Structure 1
Amino acid sequence: MNAAVKFPLNVPELSFRAAGDALVRRTVLPSGVRILSEQVPGSRSLTVGYWVAVGSRDELPGHFGSTHFLEHLLFKGTPTRTAFDIAISFDEVGGEHNAMTAKEYTCYYAKVQDRDLSMAVEVLTDMLTSSTLDAIEFETERGVILEELAMADDDPADVASERFFEAVLGGHPLGRPIGGSAQTIRGATRTGVNEHYQANYRPQDLVVTVAGAVDHDALVAGVVRALELAGWDLSVPAAPVVRRVDHPATITQGKSVTIVHRPLEQANLLIGMPGILATDDRRVTMSVLNSIFGGGMSSRLFQEVREKRGLAYSVYSFAPGYSDAGLFGMYAGCSPAKAGQVAELLLSELHRLAEHGVTDEEMRRAAGQLSGASALALEDSDTRMSRLGRSEITLGEFADLDEALRRLALVTKDDVQELAAELARGPVSIVAVGALSDDTFASIIPVGA
């Protein structure tokens, strides 16, 4: 590959060689189902994922938490398999299976030996297409999810993270918690979750990605066979669902300061502002910025906050991007008495980066960190499977390791400084969980501002 390969929705077949002589193939069926594979030389195992481009942001009022609720329910049985049957299918071959609900997609996945691909396809297809949403299982799983939410509410880092998205993104759907709330889960109905299921789990919504020891033609044949056995009529023409609009949304900040009072020994502190979109051409620049600023033990935040001042054990930055919005955040776990000082230090480091830029040595280290981490991650078929899914659902293009390194080499110090300056001009949101007073951050943002 010499450049990224585009994934047009109206092209039925694509095939190309990627870095490391991996063979990438993509088939778009007339029904809209998309099947992608990356055959990796020397692999003996593979990871398969079934994706639908619906996440928590897509839920309508009265259905908040339905996407995550449904993810749980698809493991609870079909007309031909019980929940125990599903579990045994993977356990007896030493495989792994799980699912993840995100803000913009849901994925059901499994990792197995190459000889067990047919089984994985059959079981995942059955789960995704034919869940019974049994009424008794529905109530049982409601209790499980309420326990999951309670567990998260007992974790101050989770509480801070949920409130942080709400603070930065305000009323945007991305600001809502993925799992809903205890109130919305208690109010969820089987009919409502089933409506969500029927509306979003259709042939034109489905993306299947497999990476590792996979033969594409056999994969396509297996997926088609399993879908038809499940009762999906693949002869009905349909275009794949269009990708999300990637124009920046208008973001209205939530609260500038949010303090959740908890009698804890440590404060969990998050500070941030709007970031960039997942499809922004500057996403590689953001990766370099994040690496230099808070991406490792040699980063500025780690050195300034932990190594030089001993103010925190854990300190880092992060930059999630979505189709029409993004965030840039800084985290520190510190003594409640030091929270104000740490907050000022985090922001001052960002402004120092924006005003004075970065050094050649920092750029060299960031390039080494990012290129090395990318190469090591691709040793895992899970990462390659996820890359295929994000490429199809979010980006609309596939960039292999060589292309990623080429783009990384194009990032300049000026690029990093300009992006840092843009971030530093954004509205600042502070979220903290711990034994803090309401005026802890008054020196940064006056109380009531």
Structure 2
Amino acid sequence: MHSIQHQQLDCGLCVITESIPGSKTAALNWGVRGGVATNKHDGDSTLLAELVLRGANGMSSKKHNDALESLGIRKQVSCGIEFFRVTSVMLGSHLTQGIPLLGAYLLNPELPEEGLEPCKSLCLQSILSIDDNPSHKASVALNKHHFKKPFGRSSYGEAKEIASATIERVRDVHAKSFVPENSILTIAGDVRHDEVVETVSTLVQSWTGVNASVVSGETPGRGVHWIEQDSSQVHISFAIDGPSAQEKDVLSEAVAISVFGGATSGRLFTQVRQRRSLCYSVSAQFAPSKERSVIRIHAGTTPERAKETIEVCLEQLSILQNGITQDEFARTIQRMKSRTVMHGESTTARASSLWSDQYALGKTRSLADKMREIDGISLENVNNWLKNRDYGKLTLVYVGPSDLNLPTNILHV
């Protein structure tokens, strides 16, 4: 039987473990509220994602990395919009040795001055690479035009801010942002809760600090935005506000958007790609969160078919408000159940799910909890939600060679 246990440490760190019988691996997900949205200079945390890898706990980068590899530990350090994370998977038998090594990236990195310029170069190269991926370029621009500042930033940072960064400034960001308040550590798999709490408590006994508040600006104008790029393709991205993860109708939205564009049996794929041959790819995803839930629609097509692709996507979005069928509902519920069970067999997926639940809901859910929630949703729930669904103000970004001259009211769904 899976066992989820919580421990709130005195410093402010929340430790959550889930023991999964039969598992030999343990996955770790440790996040601090130090993403780019918390930066005064957009990109300092992006630099830190590279710089913390250059030595920790008094060890050089090579020695620290060798210590991790000698235990067979796979790890990733990443900077997001709001949170900065260390994620890892290892044998459960190596957990008590691995936690201090992984925690060092957050608590005690060397942050060497000589490493700053190489890190700047890597970050600036990543920014330049966005132009080589027009689909991703559209997604980055979509966030910028849809979300309030500073939450519309990208995890790449701004080139001018990265170029102007000093080691003193970056170290100051680490000292002030990488603090225990609002930090969450989740571990799933072959894990013993008491051992983890003892190991982590020793590690963080001198860790202190509270997060500075992040003040969000006004909602941007949204609307339609064209990014000119010489290409034989057009990449289209929409953003639509969704219900927060805490709202009772969040599952109804998840079912509806899955029917709309979450699979090859979805309406977008059928109507836009299969029946009309308007594009080579099209999909929609619902990403529920604590404060910035969003539905994203993506399509890749040609300049000649781009305008009609946009029109049909919006037409299908409007039709969705009329409700879904029993067959669509049944297929989607089965797909959601299958995905939930499959994720339960992955320690990495479970650690991530525990982390997301704790942040968005203030509590965690077991696989059984999630299955009960899915069983509790009905076709009537979904269709009642859709009947009264107000999409609000949409955002559309497309990257391509020419302006499509779209009507000013095209986003009025």
Instruction: Name the TM-score, length of structure 2 as normaliser.
Output: 0.92
Q: How does 1:163-182 map to 2 (within 5 A)?
A: 163-169=141-147, 171-182=148-159
Residues 78-102 of structure 1 deviation map (CA, whole Å, 9 limit, x = unaligned): 2522111232223333331002222
Kept after mapping to 2: 8 A contact 1:351/1:421: no
Per-residue CA deviations over 1:74-127 (Å, capped at 9, x if unaligned) read 111125221112322233333310022222222102111112112211211222
> How far apart are residue 389 of structure 1 and its match?
1.4
Contact 1:319-1:328 within 8 A present in 2 as well: yes
Q: Kindly indicate whether residue 294 of structure 2 is the aligned counterpart of residue 327 of structure 1.
A: yes
**What amino acid sits opposite 1:81 in the alignment?**
M
Instruction: Report the alpha carbon displacement of residue 153 of structure 1 after superposing the two structures with TM.
Output: 3.0
Determine if the alignment matches structure 1 residue 442 to structure 2 residue 400. Answer: no
1:233, 1:343 → 2: CA distance?
51
Asked if 2 retains the 8 angstrom alpha-carbon contact of 1:344 and 1:444, the reply is no
Distance 1:343 1:81 in 2: 54
Is 1:136 aligned with 2:108?
no
For the Cα contact (< 8 Å) 1:77–1:132, is it kept in 2? Answer: yes
CA contact (8 A) 2:264 2:270 kept: yes
Change (3 A) 1:233 1:404: closer
2:82 to 104, 113, 116: 104
Q: Distance in 1 between matches of 2:129 and 2:384?
A: 40
Instruction: Check the 8 A contact 2:179/2:207 in 1, yes or no.
Output: no
Q: Retained in 2: the 8 A contact 1:253–1:427?
A: no
State whether structure 2 residue 237 is matched by structure 1 residue 308: no
Cα deviation for residue 241 of structure 1 reads: 7.0
Query: C-alpha deviations, 1:382-415, integer Å up to 9, x for none?
Result: 1111122122223201122222122223333344
- Partner residue of 1:5? none
Structure 2, unpaired ranges of 5+: none
Correspondences of 1:37-436 after superposition (within 5 Å) = 37-60=17-40, 63-169=41-147, 171-228=148-205, 232=206, 252-354=219-321, 356-420=322-386, 425-436=391-402
Kindly state the Cα deviation for residue 163 of structure 1 after the two structures are TM-superposed: 0.9
Look up the SS of the partner of 1:192 in the other structure. helix
SS at match of 1:397: coil
What's the CA shift for 1:174?
Answer: 1.7
Measure the CA separation in 2 of the matches of 1:437 and 1:393.
Answer: 41
Cα separation, 2, equivalents of 1:371 and 1:242: 40
The aligned amino acid for 1:210 is: I
3-state SS of paired residue (2:299): strand
Superimposed CA distance per residue, residues 277-301 of structure 1 (whole angstroms, 9 cap, x where no aligned partner): 2322222122111210000110110
Q: Distance in 1 between matches of 2:249 and 2:175?
A: 37
Q: Deviations over 1:138-171 (max 9, x none)?
A: 11101111111111232111110011112222x4
- Quick one: structure 1 residues 242 and 137, their matched pair in 2 at CA, closer, same or farther if it must change by over 3 Å? closer
Instruction: Measure, in 2, the Cα distance between the counterparts of 1:328 and 1:442.
Output: 22
Structure 1 unaligned segments of length 5 or more: list them.
1-20
Whether 1:32 and 2:12 are equivalent positions in the alignment is yes
Describe the shift of the 1:377–1:71 C-alpha distance in structure 2 as closer, same or farther (beyond 3 A): same
Distance 1:209 1:243, change over 3 A: farther
Rounded to whole Å, the distance in 2 between the matches of 1:241 and 1:182 is: 25
Q: Do the aligned partners of 1:142 and 1:186 also contact (CA within 8 Å) in 2? A: yes
Q: Deviations over 1:311-333 (max 9, x none)?
A: 22211002223332322221110
Task: Report if the CA contact (8 A) 1:328-1:423 is conserved.
Answer: no
Task: For 1:92 and 1:57, locate their aligned partners in 2 and report how far apart those are by CA, in whole Å.
Answer: 35
The 3-state SS of whatever aligns with 1:304 is: helix
Greater mean alpha carbon deviation, residues 357-366 or residues 252-261: 252-261
Given that residues 100 and 203 in structure 2 are in contact (C-alpha distance below 8 angstroms), is that contact kept between their aligned partners in structure 1? yes
The question of whether the paired residues in 2 share the 8 Å contact of 1:48 and 1:120 is answered with no
| SS of equivalent to 2:287 | coil
Contact 1:350 1:420 in 2 (8 A): no
Distance 1:391 1:27 in 2: 15
Percent pairwise identity:
23
**1:220 aligns to what SS in structure 2?**
helix
Give, as a single letter, the amino acid of the residue that structure 1 aligns with 2:112. Answer: D
Query: What one-letter code is carried by the residue in structure 2 that aligns with 1:135?
Result: E
Judge conservation of contact 1:45–1:213 (CA < 8 Å) in 2.
Answer: yes
The alignment partner of 1:349 has SS state of helix
d(CA) in 1 for partners of 2:212, 2:328: 40
Q: How many equivalent pairs are there?
A: 411
Do the aligned partners of 1:271 and 1:343 also contact (CA within 8 Å) in 2?
Answer: no
CA contact (8 A) 1:353 1:417 kept: no
Residue pair 2:272, 2:282 contacting (<8 A) in 1 also: yes
CA distance in 2, matches of 1:437, 1:324: 33
Residues 178 and 333 (structure 1), Cα distance of their counterparts in 2 relative to 1, 3 Å cut: same
The equivalent residue for 1:11 is none
Structure 2 CA distance for partners of 1:105 and 1:305, relative to 1, 3 Å: same
Q: Give the Cα–Cα distance (whole angstroms) in 2 for the partners of residues 392 and 349 of structure 1.
A: 34
Q: TM-score, normalised by structure 1?
A: 0.85
